[in-house]
Structure formats: structure tokens, C-alpha cells
Amino acid sequence: MIRQNIKVAVDAVVFGYKDKILNVLLIRRNIDPYKDSWALPGGLVLENENLEQAVERELKEETNVTVDYLEQLYSFGDLGRDPRNRVVSITYFALVKPEHHDIKADTDAKDVAWFDVQDLPELAFDHAKILKKAKKRLQNKLTYEPIGFDLLENKFLFSDLEKLYMTILEKEIDRRNFRKKILGFGILKELDEKVSEGRGRPANLFQFNKNQYFKSKEEGFFFDIK
């Protein structure tokens, strides 16, 4: 008879975009192993909950964050990834607007903070590997699905959208072609509201038309900015 003693956990990579910086939400662990180290929010799945309920609960308990966009990322189950037990982690990634959340540490977390993805502390367990996977998924998905709008304010300058793409993709873009392509999709609404942008003349604000996007998608529209 085969006996198993495998525990199932969930971990969350929560990305936020603020001040032209892509951030990730980390907790400082309050228990061993890796006590006082920074890690991704997460924990074991309880007997009476499904995976999504578990990751949402852990996020709420450890960071006080409630997410709108949550997607399953990958399963991590290497031997020895947790020194206590054999643990398989089902990981998720989420997108939030940091300024809309009052983060607060609780339960197994001593502290919680946003970190620039380009300037991270050493992470506990295999969380650096998980974060690397999540970042790659975000970069890839940004080119074929308009998830970037989940990181921007409801009303934004077009230059804000350009900066977001350059920040996450970590490369320059052809701004003229990018603007032409995005506006050609017909999923942005140009508002009759202007904001001063540096020394230049005031520029119009834009808004993502989510209803138009889903309607176009049903008709065969494919978002692609490669």
C-alpha cells in the first residue's frame, strides 16, 4: 500500500504598479522556518475550502488585501522546498492598485510591504523561483490580453499606458506604432478631460472600455501588441 503525507499550500504573487514601478507584495515571516525572512503571502489549504478560497483567505489574513484579478500560475512541488514537510504549492498571481489597499500584517506575518521587483530582498523557500515565473507570465500575457489596465487608474494619460508597458516588458517601445495599434483596437475611450503633462500642453485622459473589449472578443477580435 502506498502511503502519502503530502500537504497542499497556496502562494500568491501580487503585483502592483505605482510611480512607474512594478511592485510585488511580500510578508516578513513570523514563524520558523525562515523566521524574519521575506516571502510571498500564502499557507496551507484547509480541509473545508477550495484553492481559490484558500489563497483569498491567506491574502486577507496576512496582508489585508482583497484581489479582483486572480489567476492560477503554476504548481511547485520539488523535494525539499519546505524543510518541515513534503509540500506542493499551487501558486497564483494577482494584479491590484496599491493605493487602493490598506496593507496590514497579521497571523503568520510580522510585516507586509511593497517591493520594487528590480530591488528585492532574499526570499524564503523557493519563492524567488515562483516570482520569476509569475513575472514572465505577466510579461507574456501583457502582449495578448489587456490586463495592464487592471494596474492603471480608471482614467489615465496615454503616456501612462506607454510607461506601464515599458516598465513591465523592461524595454523601449515604438511609441508611435504602439499608440496607433492600441487606438485602432477601439477599446479605449478618449475623454473630454485634460491633464497637464510636464511642460507640454494638456493631454486628454483615456478610459478602458471593458464592455467593448468583451463584445469585440466575442466577434473574433484578438488583442495583440507584439
Cβ(80)–Cβ(64) under 8 Å?
no
30: containing domain: 6-142
pLDDT of residue 201: 81
Cβ within 8 Å of residue 79, ≥6 positions away:
86
In a domain, 204, yes or no: yes
If asked whether residues 69 and 152 sit together in one domain, one would say: no
CATH number at residue 76: 3.90.79.10
Residues 176 and 200 in one domain: yes
Closest CA to 151 of 68, 83, 64: 68
Same domain, 154 and 204: yes
Q: How much is the pLDDT for 146?
A: 94
For the residues of 105-171, what is the DSSP string, one character each? Answer: --TTEEEEEEEETTS-PPBSTTHHHHHHHHHHHHHHHHTTS-GGGGGS-SSEEHHHHHHHHHHHHTS
Q: What is the pLDDT of residues 124-150, one digit of tens each?
A: 999 999 999 999 999 999 999 999 999
Q: Could you give the number of structural domains in the chain?
A: 2
Domain membership flag for residue 209: yes
172 and 100 share one domain: no
138 with 167, same domain?
A: no
- pLDDT value of position 180: 95
- Contacts of the segment 100-104: beta carbons below 8 A, 24+ positions apart: 101/64, 101/65, 101/66, 102/64, 103/25, 103/63, 103/64, 103/65, 104/63, 104/64
Average of per-residue pLDDT across 2-23: 93
Last residue of a domain, one of 107, 142, 177: 142
Q: Which residue has the cell 467593448?
A: 212
206 φ, ψ to 5°?
-125, 165
Alpha helix positions (H), the chain: 51-63, 127-142, 158-169, 175-184, 210-218
The answer to whether position 64 is within a domain reads yes
Whether 112 and 12 map to the same domain: the answer is yes
Is residue 225 domain-resident? Answer: no
In a domain, 94, yes or no: yes
How much is the pLDDT for 20? 92
Same domain, 134 and 152: no
Regarding whether 119 and 78 lie in a shared domain, the answer is: yes
Evaluate whether 134 touches 93 at the Cβ level (below 8 Å). yes
Nearest-angstrom CA–CA distance, 51 and 40: 16
Specify if 226 maps to a domain. no
**Rounded Cα distance, 25 and 149, in Å:** 19
Confirm whether 134 is domain-assigned.
yes
Whether residues 19 and 125 share a domain: the answer is yes
- Residues 124 and 209 grouped into a single domain: no
Report if residue 224 sits inside a domain: no
The answer on pLDDT for 182 being more than 80 is: yes
Domain identity same for 179 and 124: no
Given pLDDT bands bounded at 50, 70 and 90, which one contains residue 221? confident
CATH number at 154 reads: 1.10.10.10
- Is residue 178 over pLDDT 90? yes
Is 119 found in the same domain as 26? yes
* Rounded distance between C-alpha atoms, residue 175 and residue 163, angstroms: 10
Element (H, E) at 198: none
Which grid coordinates belong to 51? 484553492
Bridging pattern class, strands 86-96 and 6-18: parallel
> Per-residue pLDDT for 225 more than 90?
no
